[in-house]
Amino acid sequence: MKKQVATALALTMGLTAAALSACGEDEIKINPDKEHYVVGISQLVTHDALDAATQGFKDALTEKLEEAGRTVEFDYQNASNDTTMCTTIANNFVAKDVDLIMANATNALQAAYGATTTIPILGTSITEYGVALGVELTDGVVGGNVSGTSDLAPLDEQAEIMVDLFGLEEGDSVAILYCSAENNSKYQSDVVKAELEAKGLEVSVKTFVDSNDIAAVCNGIVGEGHDAVYVPTDNTAASNTATIDNILRPANIPVFAGEESTCKGCGVATLSISYYNIGVVTGEMAADILLGKIDIRETAIRYDSAPTKKYNATIANHFGITPASDFTVIDGTALAD
């Protein structure tokens, strides 16, 4: 039911945005002559990846506007992983008539998308915008008042690296672990599951509702005796890596993570984008939109063009795994277990 309601809302908002776009270019509120801008930042939850994206956004937007002789004020709000709070934050931004909303993570983007069709919205840390908003992109363009950056790393390459790194063979079993409330995690799971099954592996999808049942699901993975675990880019998982690591590592089940902050907490390795970098790209987009240099309705989603292979030295050492020379050590992980 939740998915049906979200899809219906997304379709309604998409039609509304299309109608506004047809009415004229001045329907999306942009004032390139302003000297001082107010930008609302809605971040779903606190963890390293999202924090880095927000910092990159603020740094880049501040610098670009200063170069143009303008200033910016940030109204930063953190929803503490509460979807209802995302809606409250978005509605408050609309009431304050901010100049632009930066929505950091899927639930924050969905809330902003449902709150306004006239204030420009830039997402970041979003895996797949079509899935998140229930719309079909055209040449990477969402349309209406939404664009942004994606945190999607090549999923086929993640699957390939995971198999090679862990020495998985046909018939071995992999569990995919993610939060059922995050549609983008399901998207990643579906793609990686198909890639792994094509290699002859047995794949079991394990979802948790929220942080309260992560331990139970992880214990179930241990009980079933899986050979490895894949954790996609997932905000709830990233906020609970200690729980995952405390159960899976003692059971000698290695984790391959979809992004760096999750890997730092519970993974052996990752093929990850830089969240700071996509934040910077989002900030540069914001400056161009506010200054009237680009039209958000025609701006395609942008990506980090250079995902990197990284590993957690402490956890890799525990499993006796030595990644190839093209992997770099994640800062803050020790070389000894």
Please count the CA atoms within 13 angstroms of the CA of 305 that sit on its side-chain side.
Answer: 2
The answer on 140 and 192 residing in a single domain is: no
CB of 54 closer than 8 Å to CB of 278: no
Co-location of 161 and 294 in the same domain:
no
Tell me if 171 is assigned to some domain: yes
Same domain, 191 and 230: yes
Report yes or no on 223 lying in a domain: yes
Q: Are residues 62 and 160 in the same domain?
A: no
Q: Are residues 316 and 207 in the same domain?
A: yes
Residue-level pLDDT, tens digit, the chain, 337 residues: 333 334 344 433 443 333 333 333 448 999 999 999 999 999 999 988 999 999 999 999 999 999 999 999 999 999 999 999 999 999 999 999 999 999 999 999 999 999 999 999 999 999 999 999 999 999 999 999 999 999 988 999 999 999 999 999 999 999 999 999 888 899 999 999 999 999 999 999 999 999 999 999 999 999 999 999 999 999 999 999 999 999 999 999 999 999 999 999 999 999 989 999 999 999 999 999 999 999 999 999 999 878 999 999 999 999 999 999 999 999 888 754 4
**Listed residue (127, 236, 137) closest to 188, CA to CA:** 127
Same domain, 261 and 125: no
Domain harbouring 215, CATH code: 3.40.50.2300
The count of domains in the chain is 2
Domain identity same for 179 and 107: no
CB of 160 closer than 8 Å to CB of 123? no
* CB-neighbour burial class of residue 261 (10 A; exposed 0-12, middle 13-18, buried 19+): buried
Is 335 a domain residue? no
What is the structure's pLDDT at 291? 98
Q: Which one-letter DSSP state was computed for residue 258?
A: S
pTM (predicted TM-score): 0.78
Please give the Cα distance from 268 to 270 (Å, whole number): 7
Domain that holds residue 251: 155-272+308-329
Q: Beta 228-231 vs 255-257: how paired, if at all? A: parallel
Please give the pLDDT value at position 19. Answer: 35
**Claim to verify: residue 235 and residue 251 sit in the same structural domain:** yes
Same structural domain for residues 316 and 292? no
Same domain, 16 and 107: yes
Residue 334 lies in a domain: no
Indicate whether 184 and 85 sit together in one domain: no
